[in-house]
Amino acid sequence: MAAVTRRLWAAWRHVAAPAITGAVLALPLLGAPAPGRAQEQIEQQEPTPSAVEQVATPIELKDAPAFFRDMKYDDTHLEALAMGGALSFQSGWLLDTLSVSAVLYTSQPLHAPDARDGTALLETGQKGYTVLGQLYARLKFLDRNFVNLYRYAYDTPYLNRDDSRMSPKTFEGYTLQGSVGGQDGAPAFRYGAGYITKIKDRNDDDFIWMSRQAGAAVDRGVAMLGALFSSGGLSVGGIDYYCADVINIGYGEGKYLVPGPAGAGVLVSAQYVDQRSVGGNFMTGVAFDTELFAVKAEASYGNAVVSLAWSRTAHGADLQNPWSGNPGYSGAMIQKFNRAGEQALLARLSYDFRRLGVEGLTAYALFVHGASRVAPTTRSAVPNENEVDLDVQWRPAWKGLTGLWLRARYGHVEQYQGPKNAMTEYRLVVSYDFSVL
């Protein structure tokens, strides 16, 4: 099967202290990427849930993101208008054993002032790029078990496609994944293991070593091993990422779903992250370790979902996201809220308007309060922050418009202590997804 994806992105950012404003116009045409599994990427790419049964969490290791995340309070103005897309091919299964696929990505400038580089729509220097981002073979054995060879797109909590620009992050490596059980409501066990050598960033045409992407001046890959067990409404899983002499990241998550009639239900989940330098400490030059613990409760009724989450990050260091997005429950559109010492409280309300006769229209409002943050080296206090996000999207169910997705997003972060800095982002996304063959 062949498919063509086109995207047109125009992006502007202006940041100044104490007043910070920004605007983003995004028009991805004729195609939408599969979702990543990091928490903000779930918000970015998946439909707004109308019941807790539809809520996704980062540990769900599926094969399938945030714009200007964690910006600095300085004076910047970034601007670019680019057009590009993807041409993909996927074969059928030869002897029900072998399948091959390839995806070619491109992004080319339409308007890109040299002095306003940095939107990540183009390569550094406002240059266009074309890259064979995916080229892989899949070997199937024992029905639902696969070996993935060479360039592939993965979706795990700390290693995923982070697809929020013209093209996603993709990886070179070799992995084994599969599942056992799960038929007719039986318990299921899913697993994944492998070694990832290199990564292609979203706006690049080169694959570099995973260690260098993390900031270390050595050539190292990442070994990963994960598993997820589910039975009824309960699921428990974990995954570990080990990059020699750079960093080790352990992620664990559990959730329990209590469904009810007509979309009503309750979902409770918890996550734990442990990060630490290893070996030669080549990532930062010094040893570090930190951790995060978070809990989340969600309830749905009448196509409305209410979510509450709380997270706490240890004082040792800010959490690192060297290869992908942020899977933390308290992560929002602009900020991650997972910095040293930070405690965050999130509240979110979403609604699906189909009960009012508007099929495909959803909206949500989100508020996050972050407090107790400290500078990792000095342990001095850092101003607290609040973030407010609003999101409206429409996926029409009308014949002839299937695959069309319209979305508007607003995010505002404000420090209400110290210099009282603020930043605002606006994003508009228009997407149309279809198959050529």
- What residue ranges define each of the domains in the chain, with the CATH number in brackets? 2-432 (2.40.160.10)
Given a cut of 80, is residue 180 above it in pLDDT? yes
Closest C-alpha among 319, 317, 394 to residue 354 = 394
Cα–Cα distance for residue pair 332/340, rounded to 1 Å? 17
Strands 145-152 and 422-432, sheet pairing:
unpaired
Ranges of beta strands (E only) in 142-221 are: 145-152, 155-156, 159-160, 170-181, 188-200, 207-209
Q: What is the mean pLDDT of residues 235-253?
A: 97
Pair of tokens at residue 330: 């308290």
Q: What is the mean pLDDT of residues 419-430?
A: 78
> CA geometry: angle at 163 spanning 412 and 322, to 5°?
85
Given a cut of 70, is residue 72 above it in pLDDT? no
Given a cut of 60, is residue 82 above it in pLDDT? yes
pLDDT recorded at residue 397: 84
Three-state secondary-structure class, residue 52: helix
Cα–Cα distance for residue pair 322/196, rounded to 1 Å? 13
Given a cut of 70, is residue 293 above it in pLDDT? yes
Pair of tokens at residue 348: 């979110």
Question: Among 172-186, 276-290, 315-329, 414-428, whose mean pLDDT is lowest?
Answer: 414-428
Three-state secondary-structure class, residue 232: coil
Tens-digit pLDDT profile for residues 9-28: 444 443 433 332 333 333 33
From the CB of residue 345, how many other CB atoms can be counted at a distance below 10 Å?
Answer: 15
**C-alpha 247: how far from its chain's center?**
20
Confidence of residue 77 (pLDDT cuts 50, 70, 90): low
**Cβ pair 342, 386 in contact under 8 A:** no
Q: What is the mean pLDDT of residues 333-337?
A: 90
**Cβ pair 301, 274 in contact under 8 A:** no
Element (H, E) at 39: helix 39-45
- Name which residue leads in pLDDT, 227 or 76: 227
Tens-digit pLDDT profile for residues 36-69: 345 555 555 566 776 666 667 776 655 433 333 3
Closest C-alpha among 231, 286, 307, 291 to residue 50 = 307
Confidence of residue 423 (pLDDT cuts 50, 70, 90): confident
Closest C-alpha among 147, 153, 149 to residue 133 = 153
pLDDT recorded at residue 169: 93
Alpha carbon of 28 to those of 121, 167, 228: distances in Å? Answer: 12, 11, 33
Which residues is 295 bridged to in the sheet? 270, 310
Q: Which residue has tokens 């910095």?
A: 339
Closest C-alpha among 68, 60, 48, 79 to residue 164 = 68
Strands 422-432 and 21-27, sheet pairing:
parallel
Overall size of the chain counted in residues: 437
- Name which residue leads in pLDDT, 163 or 304: 304
Q: What is the mean pLDDT of residues 358-376?
A: 93
Q: What average pLDDT does the structure give for the chain? A: 83
Q: What is the mean pLDDT of residues 324-352?
A: 92
Element (H, E) at 211: helix 210-213
Tens-digit pLDDT profile for residues 105-127: 988 898 888 888 887 888 888 99
Percent of the chain with pLDDT over 90: 53
Given a cut of 60, is residue 75 above it in pLDDT? no
Given a cut of 50, is residue 364 above it in pLDDT? yes
Confidence of residue 403 (pLDDT cuts 50, 70, 90): confident
pTM: 0.83
From the CB of residue 432, how many other CB atoms can be counted at a distance below 10 Å?
Answer: 18
Cα–Cα distance for residue pair 51/265, rounded to 1 Å? 7
Q: Which residue has tokens 């070694």?
A: 195
Confidence of residue 187 (pLDDT cuts 50, 70, 90): very high
Question: Among 226-240, 274-288, 360-374, 395-409, whose mean pLDDT is lowest?
Answer: 395-409
Cα–Cα distance for residue pair 363/269, rounded to 1 Å? 23
pLDDT recorded at residue 28: 31
DSSP string, 340-358: TT-EEEEEEEEEEGGGGT-
Percent of the chain with pLDDT over 70: 82
**Cβ pair 427, 412 in contact under 8 A:** no
Cα–Cα distance for residue pair 6/22, rounded to 1 Å? 25
Q: What is the mean pLDDT of residues 233-246?
A: 96
Q: Is the bond into 18 cis (omega within 30 degrees of 0)?
A: yes
Pair of tokens at residue 195: 């070694």
